[in-house]
A and B are shown apart, each in its own frame.
Chain A
Amino acid sequence: MKTKSIKKEYTISGDNILEVRDLQVDIKMDDYVLNAVRGVNFSMKKGETLGLVGESGCGKSVTSKEILGINPNNCTGRGEILYRTKSGKVINLLELEKDGTVYRALRGAEIAMIFQEPMTAFSPLYTVGNQIGEIIKLHDPKATKAQIRERVLEMLKKVGIANPERRIDQYPHEFSGGMLQRALIAMMLCCNPDFLIADEPTTALDVTIQAQILELMKSLQKEFGMSILFITHDLGVVSNICDKVAVMYLGQIVEYGTAKQIFHDPKHPYTQGLLKSLPKMDSSREEQLYVIEGVVPLPVNLAPSCGFAKRCPNFIQGKCDCQNISEYEAEPGHMVRCVLMEREEQKDE
């Protein structure tokens, strides 16, 4: 593995920090293989926030964990995940040894990740301060105990934890969920990473706390200037924080564009359905919410077809169910993976 990582030189365009090319992840189960991610492409610029949206099980979490190389051992990834390090070098993360020194030096220091359930993301057996300080010690072995404590206290203050001198020596069970999420953010920002993956960081929290955490992340992004890959199934959150949005369905990105494009001019029937199914403040009580019919199929031995075909209101027999759908550019920077776009392209011509 190690020799392989030096073999090839990679380049990515201008101010991009991350480019994911045709990423595929298979999960080996007891008696079948799950094609969790089936050819994902996207890129991210420095300081930009990309929202990765989709239902649970669509492969968004697996994608993000593959970037960090922390998927369980029964997962195998193919394709390219190109990342520009702080030193400016471009490396393919998929070629790195998962538990090797190179990858580990990146994790936490350059690429960090915050998780969905802050309550279980901490070990219950050590103090919060200990677990936050550990990341500093890992990436700055020369730091003394006093220095580490100083930095942890500073970070805790920054994420808005009151009374950090007392909090630093407390155990996770003495924190509330929102406080722990703040602590987790503090931990992950300790080493000033360039790239932060946020895997549904607000899903497990109360609505009021959600808003606080989102505000916190926004202000921290301004301060630290990192790129954020924001994974969520909550479209409201996306519209609040993201510059760009990628909608994922059954292991593929079905629509990609700026937040404005996605929210005001959705092209893919799935995105349209998602947006329609959002409850609106001004709708009357009698009005029923829109429901996308059917269930997501298991991604096992899928025949070439559009994954959404069976549930799609615009289903075209002989077209949607017998070929893999390619991406079409609806307008500059707005990619849609749907046959309907083919017709529009022809119309334009």
Chain B
Amino acid sequence: MVKFIARKLSIMCLTVFLISFAVFFIITLPPGDFLTTYIGRLTAAGESVDPVMIEKLREQYGLDQPFVIQYWRWFSNIIFHGDFGYSFSLAMPVTTIIRAYIVPTMVLSLVTMLFTYLISIPVGIYSAVHQYSVGDYAFTTIGFLGQAIPNFLLAIILMFLSFRWTGDTMLGLFSPGMQNAPWSMAKFLDLAKHSIIPIIVIGTGNTCGLMRTMRSQMLDELNKNYVMTGKAKGMKAAAIRYKYCVRAAVNPIVSSIGWSLVGIFTGSTVTAIVLNLPSMGAIMYSALIDQDMYLAGSWLFLMAIVTVVGTFISDILLAWLDPRARKEYLKG
């Protein structure tokens, strides 16, 4: 097992390295470097630009150097110093911004993921066991609708409905007065209330997808021969279902945690923009609009890393859950 984890870890490091390369490539994509953008902004604001200072900055960031050296400077700063560069639009180090926003982002994502699994797995099982029943049709319809509606539209609609019914659009994570209040029960409830719409919006697409996967996996398992063996043993149909089928059907779902994370981040980005959430998505958006590429790139990099780590966890979970996979991994 240790050998397997070590091997997976080394692959993971290689992937992260490649991702960083891709991210840096994206950062440098816009024409000109970020200093050009910066200067443009300063001149637009009517400020004078000191050519000496610009030259100094250019040297400091190695903008006069070839691509590979620039990349290495950026990457090594992140790896060795935890320094993600400087955000010109917000005039502070990227690291500071990330530190401020990473916690709400992660909490929101994890809570959403929890809900996603809590809903999709039982519903998928129900749909498969009662295939072609009214309930199955209802859930299938909901599943299709949920996958068909883009996140931003769902966000707008829910925002609108919430305003219609409660007179509050539920923007942000806290009510205006609560933002800076000390933690209390009231503040927590306020947070919970404000989290409902984001969680629904972020989770819907993913939940519907997982629900359908779970259903088809479960149907596959219900038709396997070992179900017949179980019946021949004298097991109750329900017992066979839960001991054997669910256990087998859940494996691929659990091992898709990595991809689920991608889905949730995707959802949370757009949702955060529309619903004005204090999560990284909104920051990323304004960074992109302003072509503040260091900030945007760092954020993209972090998301990708979280995904890679998620995939790593999935792999280990799968090896732990499925003896066949375990054997295969241990061999190689």
Contacts and interface: CB of A to CB of B under 8 A. Distances in A.
- A–B touch (CB < 8 A): the answer is yes
Interface of A: 65, 68-70, 99, 104-109, 112-113, 115, 117, 120-126, 131, 134-135, 138-139, 171, 173-174, 184, 187-188
A124 B326 CA distance: 12
Given A123-B226, A138-B235, 6 more contacts: A105-B234, A107-B233, A109-B234, A125-B322, A184-B229, A187-B229
A30 B36 CA distance: 68
Contacts of B322: 124-125
Contact of B234 (A108, A120, A131, A184): A108
Interface in B273-332: 321-324, 327
Interface residues of B, number: 21
Contacts of B235: 104, 134, 138
Given A105-B234, A108-B233, A123-B244, A115 B228 contact: yes
23 contacts: A68-B231, A68-B232, A99-B236, A104-B234, A104-B236, A108-B232, A108-B234, A112-B232, A115-B225, A115-B228, A115-B229, A117-B225, A120-B224, A121-B228, A123-B226, A125-B247, A125-B248, A125-B322, A134-B233, A135-B234, A171-B323, A173-B323, A187-B229
B110 interface: no
B100 interface: no
Chain B's interface: helix, strand, loop or mixed, by majority? helix
A174 B231 CA distance: 24
Contacts of A117: 225
Interface in B192-245: 224-226, 228-229, 231-237, 243-244
A105 B233 CA distance: 9
B326 to A, nearest CB: 9
A260 to B, nearest CB: 32
B232 A70 contact: yes
Interface of B: 224-226, 228-229, 231-237, 243-244, 247-248, 321-324, 327
Contacts of A69: 231
A124 B234 contact: no
A174 B327 contact: yes
Contact of B324 (A105, A107, A115, A124): A124
Return the 8 tightest CB-CB contacts between A and B, nearest first: A108-B234, A107-B234, A120-B225, A70-B231, A108-B233, A171-B323, A113-B232, A123-B226
Contacts of B225: 115, 117, 120-121
A120 B321 CA distance: 19
A168 B122 CA distance: 33
Contacts of B233: 107-108, 134-135, 138, 187
A139 B234 CA distance: 8
A138 B226 contact: no
Nearest to B222: A72
Contacts of A113: 232
Contacts of B234: 104-109, 135, 138-139
Contacts of A108: 232-234
Nearest to A119: B225
Nearest to A170: B323
Given A99-B237, A125-B247, A120 B231 contact: no
A135 B240 CA distance: 12
A125 B232 contact: no
B224 to A, nearest CB: 6
A187 B232 CA distance: 11
A194 to B, nearest CB: 14
Contacts of A171: 323-324, 327
Contact of A188 (B228, B232, B244): B232
A171 B321 CA distance: 13
A138 B224 CA distance: 21
Contacts of B247: 123, 125
A123 B246 CA distance: 12
B198 to A, nearest CB: 36
B87 to A, nearest CB: 50
A55 B10 CA distance: 54
Nearest to A68: B232
A187 B243 CA distance: 18
Contacts of A124: 248, 322-324
Contacts of B327: 171, 173-174
Contacts of B324: 124, 171, 173
A169 to B, nearest CB: 11
Of B229, B235, B243, most buried by chain A (CB within 10 Å of CB) is B229
Contacts of B231: 68-70, 107
B320 to A, nearest CB: 12
A65 to B, nearest CB: 8
Nearest to B322: A125
Nearest to B224: A120
Contacts of A139: 234
Contacts of B243: 126
A106 B231 CA distance: 11
Contacts of B321: 125
A26 to B, nearest CB: 19
